[in-house]
Amino acid sequence: MKMTRREFFKMAAASAIGVAAASQMPLEAAKVFAEGNDDSAYKNHLIGDSRATNTNVDIVAPKEKIKYDIVDSHLHFFDFIEKTDGFKTLCKAMDMSGVSKSVIFGLGITKQWDSSMKEAPSYYLSNDSRCYYYSATDYMLAEELLASSNEIRERFFPFCCGFNCNDKFAADHLEQVLKYYPKFWSGVGELMSRHDDLTALTYGEPPHVDGEGFLGIYDVAASKGLPVLIHHNITGQNVDKILYLDELKKALSYNRKCKIIWAHVGISRRVEVKNLIKIADDLLHDNKNLWIDISWVVYDYYFLDKFPTNFYDGDSLDDWVKLMEKYPDRFLIGTDKVGHFNTYPAEVTKYYQLLDKLKTKTAENLCKNNVLSLVKTY
């Protein structure tokens, strides 16, 4: 494969994470590109590796003056190819954003680099290649965190997530990782159920939140006092009917001692539903073991009404504010960054528009009290 550095930048510009990857490419890796290579798998490996260990990341400063102390409730240390900017860069990004602490987890699903593909993928949507369950993400995260200074370690609440929840052995696998790192894990997740393209691209049947693998995890998590964070789309893409809500209700009622955090209010790209607030309201009313995380696209699409398709869901930011004042203890905010932190600050300060409208106490709950009430500490 002959690829100049310029061509690599062009290719990387195709995806947001790719841009981050390109801008972080250190000189040595760039040299491999510039010199061209002979399809050497070893050289390709070096490129990936250098990207992971580069600490020279340009973090974009926030536009807003920092005014809230925040605990990030949804943050991936690794990206979809299990690379990361590392804890030092992450802590710098958190400092710039007023984020004192954070929940942290890897990515339990990884993207395969197919033999047929010249270009390495950087995101699950980079190409049509399959994804697969990657348990090592938990062990890598644990080792990275344990090798860090006390000052860094104390800022993070690690969750484990590397489970195939279609597998009835998933609960055993959870017990194992808990055993190997005793008094370490603060929660479980982000587990993937009904994640449109991602779960469709992953080997095996599409996981669903009320499957037996999941149920086993709820029992173990409840017995250990660990909350479980789950991505579970409320319905399919481009579908009006609500298809997957009953599965979530079954999961919630299965073990009431299991505290479930529903990521993104069940919204993903191209998931468009009316009356999401009413659905969330009913769920919160009926299920005392449910918490809701408003990270990622749901905030931009449904709270700020910035749908790429101009879909109108019928609710305004003020309607969401009312719902949060009704359930001030049940909502969480997070950045959902994946392994790269150059645009971290903007992902934090985007919530200011909402936080400014909430009562002081409710805003404080959303910023940190709610997530702190859920995570297990030792």
Q: Which is nearer to Zn ion, 177 or 192 (CB)?
A: 192
Among 72, 85, 138, 190, binds Zn ion (CB under 5 A): 190
User: Rounded to an integer, what distance in angstroms lies between the CA atom of residue 27 and that of residue 364?
Assistant: 44
Q: Which residue is nearest to Zn ion (CB)?
A: 336
Q: Which is nearer to Zn ion, 33 or 299 (CB)?
A: 299
Least distance (Å) between residue 40 CB and Zn ion: 34
Least distance (Å) between residue 75 CB and Zn ion: 8
Structure tokens at 193: 């159920």
> Within positions 71 to 130, which residues make up the interface with Zn ion, using CB under 5 A?
none
Least distance (Å) between residue 68 CB and Zn ion: 21
Among 49-57, 91-99, 184-192, 307-315, which window interacts with Zn ion (CB under 5 A)?
A: 184-192
Distances (CA, A) of 81 to 5, 28, 132, 133, 361: 21, 20, 11, 12, 39
Least distance (Å) between residue 261 CB and Zn ion: 11
Q: What phi and psi, each to the nearest 5 degrees, are found at residue 94?
A: -65, -45
Least distance (Å) between residue 181 CB and Zn ion: 21
Q: Which is nearer to Zn ion, 72 or 210 (CB)?
A: 72
DSSP 303: I
Q: Which is nearer to Zn ion, 79 or 190 (CB)?
A: 190
Distances (CA, A) of 332 to 10, 140, 262, 304: 37, 26, 10, 17
User: Rounded to an integer, what distance in angstroms lies between the CA atom of residue 337 and that of residue 335?
Assistant: 5
Short-list 98, 18, 90, CA closest to 55: 90
Among 138-146, 148-156, 183-191, 197-205, which window interacts with Zn ion (CB under 5 A)?
A: 183-191
Among 90-98, 143-151, 187-195, 342-350, which window interacts with Zn ion (CB under 5 A)?
A: 187-195
Among 50-58, 124-132, 185-193, 339-347, which window interacts with Zn ion (CB under 5 A)?
A: 185-193
Binding mask 317-356 for Zn ion (x = CB under 5 A): -------------------x--------------------
Q: Give residue 203's region: left, alpha or beta (phi > 0; psi -120 to 50).
A: beta
> CA quadruple 191, 194, 200, 205: dihedral positive or negative?
positive
Least distance (Å) between residue 106 CB and Zn ion: 11
Least distance (Å) between residue 134 CB and Zn ion: 14
How many residues touch Zn ion under the rule CB under 5 A: the total is: 2
Least distance (Å) between residue 291 CB and Zn ion: 15
User: Rounded to an integer, what distance in angstroms lies between the CA atom of residue 263 and that of residue 191?
Assistant: 10
CB-CB contact of 102 with 155 (8 Å): yes
275's CB contacts (< 8 A; 6+ apart) are 313, 314, 315
User: Rounded to an integer, what distance in angstroms lies between the CA atom of residue 240 and that of residue 347?
Assistant: 29
Q: Which is nearer to Zn ion, 144 or 336 (CB)?
A: 336
Q: Which is nearer to Zn ion, 101 or 264 (CB)?
A: 264
Q: Which is nearer to Zn ion, 171 or 230 (CB)?
A: 230
Q: Which is nearer to Zn ion, 190 or 313 (CB)?
A: 190
Short-list 323, 325, 328, 331, CA closest to 291: 331
Q: Which is nearer to Zn ion, 247 or 336 (CB)?
A: 336
> Within positions 205 to 234, which residues make up the interface with Zn ion, using CB under 5 A?
none
User: Rounded to an integer, what distance in angstroms lies between the CA atom of residue 291 and that of residue 103?
Assistant: 15
User: Rounded to an integer, what distance in angstroms lies between the CA atom of residue 229 and that of residue 214?
Assistant: 11
Least distance (Å) between residue 318 CB and Zn ion: 27
Residues that bind Zn ion (CB under 5 A): 190, 336
